[in-house]
A = this chain, B = another copy of it.
Amino acid sequence: MEVKVVKDILGANERIAERNRQLLDSNNVFAVNLMSSPGAGKTSLILQTLKRLKGKIRIGVIEGDVSSSLDAELVAKEGVPAVQINTGGGCHLDANMTSSALGNMPLKDIKLLLIENVGNLICPAEFALGEHRKVLISSIPEGDDKPFKYPLMFHQADAVLINKIDLLPYLKFDAQAFSRTIKKMNEKVKIIQISCTTGQGIEEWVSWLLKQIEKG
């Protein structure tokens, strides 16, 4: 009985995600679902991306959080349309919440939509939002064993950004072994080492992102 309920929820979610995708496509908007642990650097990456792409491409941002509107406020200061979703305790965004947020987003005025999911390495991986790409930010201080413990999200990601690479001298983290492990689980994944503090790797990320938008 429990399994049935869960399956129905996921089936309904897939259908709404497909409708979101059609809405995005009909408005020529490319959407990226950004996922990570709490504090791995999703908002910092969005701010870096806005900085690099200002004047080049019009961007909108959906911010997902259990509580607070801190992130949407930070993003709105950069002068881009930002919509906050508060899940009210929920541990992930779903297609239905995303659908509501899309209704408040000026889709005709943007080309790229960055969706910051709730900070959680588990459930966000199970709920499609209608996005074109899934990007996972994994930060050095979390440790290099995370792909073994949270395999689904690493398996699904189109790109894994290894953030806080500037902290590497102070931590035990085998970046080569980490990348090898991820490639074994997901051979097509793009892996980029970045630091949202120093800016390292952000050019490479932005260039990968622009190529994905071209591909659609």
Contacts and interface: CB of A to CB of B under 8 A. Distances in A.
Interface of A: 5, 37-39, 65-68, 70, 89-91, 118-123, 126, 139, 141-143, 145-146, 148-152, 164, 166-167, 170-171
Q: Indicate the member of A5, A89, A152 with the most B CB atoms within 10 Å.
A: A89
A122 B161 CA distance: 23
Contact of A66 (B122, B164, B170): B122
A148 B67 contact: yes
A108 B139 CA distance: 41
Count of chain copies: 2
A119 B37 contact: yes
Nearest to A69: B148
Contact of A91 (B66, B119, B122): B122
Given A38-B142, A39-B37, A39-B141, A70 B119 contact: no
B164 A141 contact: yes
A182 B116 CA distance: 25
A145 B38 CA distance: 10
A121 B122 contact: no
